Amino acid sequence: MYRNTLAAVIAGLFVLPVQATEITFLDEIVVTATRTPIAVDSSLAATTVINRETIEHSQASDLLALLDQQVGLNLSRTGGEGKSSAVFVRGAAGKHVLVLVDGVRAGSATTGEYDWNAMSPAQIERIEIVRGPLSSLYGSDAIGGVIQIFTRRAAGPGVKLTLGSRNTRGLDVSLGGGEVWRYSLEAGRESTDGLPTFVSDSTAYGFSRNHLAFSVDGSLAPGLALSARIAQAWGRNEQDANTGDNDFKNRTASLKLDHQANAQWLHSLTLGNSLDSYTSFSPFIPARIETRRDSLSWQHDLDINHGQLSLGIDHWNDHATKDNSGTLDERIENTGLFAQYRFAVLSGDAQLGLRRDKHDAFGGHNTWNLRWGRELAPGLRFSVGHGTAFKAPTINDLYWPNSVDGPYTYTIGADTYSDTYITRGNTALKPETSRSSELGLSYRRTNWDAALNLYETRVRDLIEWQPVITAAGSGPGINTTYDYQPQNLSSARMRGLELSGHIRWLGWDWQATATRLQAINLGTDLQLDRRPENSLTLNAARSMGNHGVRIEGSAYSQRLDVNGTQRLDGYGLVNAAYEYALNKDTRLGVRIDNLLDRDYALARTNTRFYATPGRGVFLTLSYQPGK
């Protein structure tokens, strides 16, 4: 199926008789890979940047649509917009990717994952994706990699209106300016009638999101800069009657001071706050679960001996609460000390990182990372690296209150059965740990570039919720208790090959990626759920005067689900976008998702497939003076 889809993409590209404008490949500056500004081509870690220009031209309706085209990333979602989603980086679990928003940890301390429905593309200035272990810089979570989202910095007034399939509606407004002190304000609302939860259902469940973001940047004194940001989203996610609707609220805020003490010493202090709130209106167990995190980071960057030494401390305090059906009120503190040295050695560049974390629940944990790279010929670069990482148990894993559901009584024939379900945390859990090795080769010329990465990651002491089953009674009456408690039970191995390329050819700007992934549960020798072994993407874009065209093709091989007992078929998708400049300030756009109206599934249960969207058409009208 996916071969036919990609063929359709390629065929469609050559039937558009247009003239291309000159395309220049810019050397992006990134900070996530080293916690200091460097050119992306100088990064020894595999790094991808999605900038504001790409976000606007893609006309993507949500954050997952932006990430879906990136090398080394795979997605899953249990239903339509707003439903539970996960991003797998290099085959690692969704909880094994650290998500930062403006430098602040944004994942939930209870679930361990980021809510990918909490942010609209209209709020995003750029995204940096670093693949590979980075716990030596950031501490817990960064096993598969780090995704850092930088919120929008509007340069002037703007407004954007969106209308589309499934009664999708959106309005975004922005205002920005200033010279000595620069400010940006962005607000908006999106809503959709959504999809049924399962393919076999007929009732659609909608989703709505409101968002507000504000930032200010300026200089307090010579050599002393201040940056303040806050981004918040809130809304409602409709569910079936048995599950119940839920409300969500997600906020990140940061205040950063940069002080250039002298020519060799820069130090930065960042204060952060985040909120992740979930209110369930379940008819059976309504509850509100909320995480609040206060954080502080103090980093010193010193230029010494033709290298750069970074020293710092990270501290955060998580407070999680839950009401109803077993209450929860717990705090966890973590303090990390890190050191990183970037230096020249063996005719190349090296990066050595060390970190010590002290965690309330399990004590101390050490991580390290060593990378080295060298230019073998003009434009040709080789790199090698090895590092360790870890994922701390979540508050749910450690302290989930003793909850009893049941007993449920039912009859089969002449026998009566009674089932009781108990869930509770486990304070004896150890952190999940990993070791990763990687080889990289990249080549860059004026109009094209390419990269190859080979890696292996082994994760031990994976935390799984497993029941201890106790049966009592015999004959006509059997009572069974399922006591669920998290345990460090399993291990996994991820081996992968990533290929990516970018070229200006036949007047088009082309981007292509290919990934081969073997993500194996070493206990069962099966591929981990919802991870395809093969992934391909092919994108082409062209600008010609007032017109712009973008076509996205992607293909994925079959996957396993439900603990390896069920299959999800391979599939291919084509998306297309067109943009027309009505004048220098106003643009009209149309995006068609799933252009060929393919049936596919991203997740399933034993008996049913979660619904995914068919063909969708979305119109946008944007006004931004001075762009």
pLDDT tens readout for residues 263-283: 999 999 999 999 999 999 998
Residue 389 lies in a domain: yes
User: Three-state DSSP class for 540?
Assistant: strand
Instruction: Please work out, in degrees rounded to the nearest 5, the angle formed at the alpha carbon of residue 454 by the alpha carbons of 449 and 455.
Output: 135
Give the distance, in angstroms, between the CA of residue 486 and the centroid of all CA atoms in the same chain.
24
Task: Please report the DSSP string for 291-313 in residue order.
Answer: EEEEEEEEEEEEEETTEEEEEEE
Residue 208 lies in a domain: yes
Residues 527-545 pLDDT 10s:
999 999 999 999 999 999 9
Residue 407 lies in a domain: no
Q: Tell me how crowded residue 136 is: count the other CB atoms within 10 A of its CB.
A: 25
Checking if the pLDDT of 3 tops 50, the result is: no
Residue 409 lies in a domain: no
Mean pLDDT calculated for residue range 176-190: 95
- The pLDDT value given to residue 449: 95
Distance, CA of 106 to CA of 86 (rounded, Å): 14
> Structure tokens of 455?
């890696």
CATH number of domain containing 77: 2.40.170.20
Residue 289 lies in a domain: yes
Q: Which amino acid is at 98?
A: L
Using a cut of 0.75, tell me whether the model's pTM lies above it: yes
Distance, CA of 496 to CA of 90 (rounded, Å): 7
- Report the 3 state secondary structure along 395-417: HHHHHCCCEEEEEEEEEECCEEE
Distance, CA of 367 to CA of 141 (rounded, Å): 12
User: Three-state DSSP class for 7?
Assistant: helix
> Exposure string (b/e) for 509-534, b if CB count within 10 Å is 16 or more?
bbbbbbbebebbbeeeeebbbbbbbe
> Structure tokens of 290?
């909320």
Residues 75-109 pLDDT 10s:
999 999 999 999 999 999 999 999 999 999 999 99
> Structure tokens of 59?
């006309």
Average pLDDT of the residues of the chain? 92
Minimal CA–CA distance to 532: which of 9, 75, 65, 4?
Answer: 75
Checking if the pLDDT of 473 tops 60, the result is: yes
Reported as a pLDDT band with limits 50, 70 and 90, residue 25 is very low
Residue 410 lies in a domain: no
What is the total count of domains within the chain? 1
Q: How many alpha carbons fall within 13 Å on the CB side of residue 241?
A: 2
Reported as a pLDDT band with limits 50, 70 and 90, residue 414 is confident
Distance, CA of 110 to CA of 443 (rounded, Å): 42
Q: Tell me how crowded residue 601 is: count the other CB atoms within 10 A of its CB.
A: 19
Distance, CA of 387 to CA of 365 (rounded, Å): 14
Q: Kind of pairing, strands 477-505 and 534-544?
A: unpaired
With beta carbons less than 8 A apart as the criterion, state whether 562 and 540 touch: no
With beta carbons less than 8 A apart as the criterion, state whether 82 and 194 touch: yes
Q: Which residues partner with 253 through β-bridges? A: 230, 273
Q: Which domain holds residue 548?
A: 2-402+415-623
Residue 550 lies in a domain: yes
> Structure tokens of 622?
């944007």
> Structure tokens of 97?
């990717």
- The pLDDT value given to residue 83: 94
User: Three-state DSSP class for 111?
Assistant: coil
- The pLDDT value given to residue 627: 59
Checking if the pLDDT of 13 tops 60, the result is: no
Residue 318 lies in a domain: yes
Q: Is 413 exposed, middle or buried (0-12, 13-18, 19+ CB in 10 A)?
A: exposed
Percentage of residues in the chain with pLDDT exceeding 70? Answer: 95
Report the greatest alpha carbon distance in the chain. Answer: 85
Contacts of 33 (CB under 8 A, 6+ apart): 43, 44, 45, 47, 128, 130, 134
Reported as a pLDDT band with limits 50, 70 and 90, residue 12 is very low
> Structure tokens of 249?
């609220």
- The pLDDT value given to residue 470: 87
- The pLDDT value given to residue 476: 61
Task: Please report the DSSP string for 312-341 in residue order.
Answer: EEEEEEEEEEE-SSS-EEEEEEEEEEEEEE
Distance, CA of 295 to CA of 103 (rounded, Å): 10
Distance, CA of 182 to CA of 154 (rounded, Å): 9
Q: Tell me how crowded residue 219 is: count the other CB atoms within 10 A of its CB.
A: 12
Q: Dihedral sign, CA of 82, 86, 89, 90? A: negative
Q: What are phi and psi of 479, to 5 degrees?
A: -110, 125
Q: Which residue has the higher pLDDT, 253 or 27?
A: 253
Q: Which residue has the tokens 């009859």?
A: 411
Checking if the pLDDT of 20 tops 50, the result is: no
Q: Which residues partner with 76 through β-bridges? A: 86
- The pLDDT value given to residue 468: 86
Mean pLDDT calculated for residue range 17-46: 75
